[in-house]
Amino acid sequence: MKIALSLLKQIAAETELPPLLNAIKDTNGQILFAAGSKLKNKDMEKAAAAGTDAVDLAYNHDFYQQLNRKDPLTYKLPVKNISRDDLAREIKFISFANQNSAHQRKIIFCGELYDESGNIILKFEEELNNDIYAEKITRLSGEQYFPVRYNEYKIILLVNLKPSGDDFIRRFRLNADMTYNLIKEISSNPLIKLLSNLIPEKDILIVDQPRDLLEAYQTGDVRLILIGDAVDTEYKKALVAVKKYDPYARLMLANRTNPNNVMKFLFDVEYFYSQDKWL
């Protein structure tokens, strides 16, 4: 895994790093740190002076957890650890969905896998599809498990914040409360497991104009559209456009939340978020 030296400096100050996959050389081509050696905190300045801004380190589970804590945007956690046979089934189902939708879903490998000589078989963030399965995965042991995530993980919160109508204040408070509760609870509640990669401040996308909904869905790695206001004609047209683009789009009409039903609301979100409608 290629990791920025600036990030490694933070981690090396706290724990031992995995071994280098490739040697670090100076500007004259002389080896400073051999492949297989482990960089220490005191080595970082020497590596930086040689013009190194990123290094390849061997993947391991504990180290990846530390990377996620330091940089969750880049190093997203797997949502499941899946067997080879189950992976084959998921690839088959997602390939079917992709053939019938303009919205393309992906299974992404969260780690790296090496052969006995240390050569990379599966790269970090590699898409696991039919071609990769036939070329690489069929050669692996049936006992091999694969930590994976999906390219869909964000939530669109479709709300009406326009100052129109007599009930604007009521609607504004309802939608503001919903947004607040999502951000607060998802970021702090370990029970909402499937949402572990969601960074609420970045990954909950507020769309307050129905005409903007399709573009936001197309460009945002979106997994769920949460409808936070009354569905009038304009909303219905926007949602129909999304369903035409992606027949398997996940939609949820949210009810008003309050301090007494936040957890039920969030478990409902997780239920709709986890649905795969092509199965």
pLDDT digits (tens), the chain, 279 positions: 999 999 999 999 888 999 999 999 988 889 999 999 999 989 999 999 989 999 999 999 999 999 999 999 999 999 899 999 999 999 999 999 999 999 999 999 999 999 988 889 999 999 999 999 999 999 999 999 999 999 999 999 888 665 555 565 566 666 666 666 776 676 666 666 667 788 877 888 888 888 999 999 998 799 999 887 667 788 889 999 999 999 999 999 876 556 667 777 778 888 888 888 886
Question: Which residue type is seen at 247?
Answer: P
**Cα separation, 210 vs 214, whole angstroms:** 8
Return left, alpha or beta for 118; rule: phi > 0 is left, psi -120 to 50 is alpha, else beta.
left
Locus of tokens 């880049």:
74
Question: 53: which DSSP letter?
Answer: S
- What's the CATH fold of domain 154-274? Rossmann fold (3.40.50)
Question: Which residue type is seen at 42?
Answer: K
Whether the CB-CB separation of 203 and 153 falls below 8 Å is answered with yes
CATH 3.90.105 domain locations along the chain: 2-70
Question: 278 to each of 96, 100, 148, how far by Cα in Å?
Answer: 8, 10, 19
- What's the CATH fold of domain 2-70? Molybdopterin biosynthesis moea protein, domain 2 (3.90.105)
CATH 3.40.50 domain locations along the chain: 154-274
Whether the CB-CB separation of 145 and 131 falls below 8 Å is answered with no
Amino acid 279: pLDDT: 67
**Of residues 223, 203, 196, the one with CA closest to residue 80:** 196
Amino acid 170: pLDDT: 63
Residue 115 φ then ψ, to 5°: -85, -175
Residue 265 φ then ψ, to 5°: -60, -45
Tokens matching residue 99? 């053939």
pTM (2 decimals)? 0.86
Amino acid 257: pLDDT: 59
Question: 29 to each of 23, 32, 34, 41, 51, how far by Cα in Å?
Answer: 10, 9, 12, 23, 11
